[in-house]
Amino acid sequence: MAATGMPVWMVELMDSLNRITTAGYAADISPDTAQLLGRAPITAKAFAHDHVAAWKA
């Protein structure tokens, strides 16, 4: 990431977020999520599938 010109602070932030998710600390979904969304939450995989056209753009 740094080789592409991304600022060091952003590289460090992305690394931290990756470590947090890899360790499973972001695995649980709060019941507040459904309440805020007004619907049941979906997985990241389902989100990517639903918006595949945007990923290919």
The pLDDT of residue 29 is: 87
Q: Average pLDDT per run of 10 along the chain, which is 57 residues long?
A: 93 96 90 96 92 87
The alpha carbon torsion through 54, 37, 44, 56 (nearest 10 deg) reads: 0
| Nearest-angstrom CA–CA distance, 18 and 24 | 10
Task: Kindly state the greatest CA–CA separation across the chain.
Answer: 41
- pTM value? 0.53
- Sequence spans of domains, the chain: 31-57
The pLDDT of residue 22 is: 94
The pLDDT of residue 8 is: 95
